[in-house]
Structure 1
Amino acid sequence: MALNTATKIATGPPPGAGSGEPAPARRGRRHRSAGEWVADVFVVAILTVLAIATLYPFLFELTISLSSAADTQQPGLHILPLHPTVTAWHAVLSSSGILHAYLNTIVRTAGATAITLVLTAMMAYPLAQKSFPHRRVLNFLLLFSLLFSGGFIPLFLLVKNLGLLDTRWSLILPGAVGAMNVILMRNFFQAIPAELIDAARTDGASELRILFTIVLPLSKPVLAVVGLWTALANWNAWFDALLYINDPDKQVLQMFIRNTVVTQADPILGGTNPAFLNSPPTAVSLSAAAVMIATLPIIALYPFLQKYFARGILLGSVKG
């Protein structure tokens, strides 16, 4: 005991004991060079410009949708409305056409997202198993479909021959399984420890039970990524509705907005409260309000799934 105490006294306090910080931290600190500071300033400036270029169109549409009819005709660029009013929003939300379009889009987005997640997982799981027969051939065909496709005409003929024209299935089934989503989910499944799956097989669990009770609960990040990608694609899609849908009652929200812009807001004013016909808002403000109403649900959904994005994409893209 005395020898240990004497040794500690002789050697003195450890490095950095009186400075309030560990010695390795002091030794590892160095001054940044002028080139590094210039590089940081340049990167921050570029990102700031990109952020402004991304946010300004959104703010401009929001401002136009909340501006009065006289303010929308004023020249120049505005960030805030001069005389705020919700007349355009009220007119859009009072239109019967947009309510039908909203319902059709919600049904399409929810149905397509659910079907895509189930079918993609059921295709990715066997491709992630090394014992699956013809696995290399199927992976090659999957990659081949990323580079080559038949185009719109064969796809239209396929949808027509299947009897899906003018039905909601024509908007959901053709894009239900995407090669990129399958590859991303397959790579994520390959990162799951094989011992878990082998143990479940030893206990007599079927492959479907393993998939839905073990693999999918561990794959929430990649499911969130694929689900959000699918929801965004279906919410913003309009060209397939233009090709396959003729019934106005089955048109989606983006087609309603397109018709609003092309026909100068006639679809909105045609189904709104007659009180708006005496002093209607301008077509520009109505179009802006329709765009904002169509965009807000996705903006509200994104923050809840954003935390899964980095983890899901990284884990699903590293292991091949």
Structure 2
Amino acid sequence: MSETTAHSAKHTKSAGLELRAVRKDYGSNTVLHSIDLRLEPGELVCLLGPSGCGKTTALRCLAGLEEVTSGQVLIGGDEVSGTPVNRRDIGMVFQAYSLFPHMTVAKNVEFGLRMRKIPRSERTQRVAEALELVGLSGFEHRYASQLSGGQQQRVALARALVTRPRALLLDEPLSALDAKVRVHLREQIREIVTELGITTVFVTHDQEEALAISDRVAVMNGGHIEQFASPEDIYRSPASAFVADFVGVSNKLPGVLTGQGVQLHQTTLPLVTSTQLAAGTSVTALVRPEHIAFAASVDAQLHGTVVSSGFLGSLRRTVVRLDELETEVAVQHHANERFEIGETVGLRFAEVPVAIRAED
């Protein structure tokens, strides 16, 4: 993006977004259970969760594509629950690019400006700025059939941004793209919305995507927000067993609660959050692979046998069958540290708080 374009496109009316005790029912089925969510102006927040958790419904309530059953939707502090989509002043990008096939790239991007009756000279300038913003200068006269999937999605992004909306809503915008294009485009989206300072909600089921681009992440499950925090806090200090299990990789180990934490064999680890379960309760502890290390036999807290080992570039993930706990764990370690299948090894846990869940 050129300095001129960045300056001329700099967002000046970015608005905070808020869902306040929003409930959404479809008949007898409640999809959102009185959720609260507040975004500061210019913040990029990802709604992350499995299919059916309510994240897209929450986005559609913000957009005005769904009428809330109860609660309030606020944009810039204004209550907009009864305001139609075209008067909420937001830009939207969906998984389906939804470009008009009979229109050129320029005409697709210009469409929203024409509907707002913006003068032609200003439309031309703003379309050029938007296309430069997404790296598609020179593509003005091409049609959708002449573009790759990534290029089509960038046209859709330019079309959403050209009207200079108060907020940007993106619903699984990258899921139809191949992995390499997806990574490149998510970085570009992050750069653009940061440069413009535009409040952005990004819906995804891809945890890596959410952690990579967000200021904060709202992890959703069953129509509830389980945790709303920074990517680092979501990963390092999960507020529930669901968050610990859904975000990242966790080993599931049998343990017993004590007054000091959870006992795994002869080792006691602290808990991420307090629990109302009584001491002596059997639970499952969720331990990250990077929080287990290989150790000399004399220093080991557990012993096991190497089952498999996978090369991950700078890292290696080795699976060990634990004799004492009669289960397997994945250990993440440096790629130069190698073990043979069938080799007996010792392991130690890092003194890092862990999440727990009651045994099924």
Q: TM-score, normalised by structure 1?
A: 0.22
Higher relative contact order (CA 8 A, sep 6+): 1
Greater percentage in strand: 2
The structure number with the bigger radius of gyration is 1
Q: TM-score, normalised by structure 2?
A: 0.20
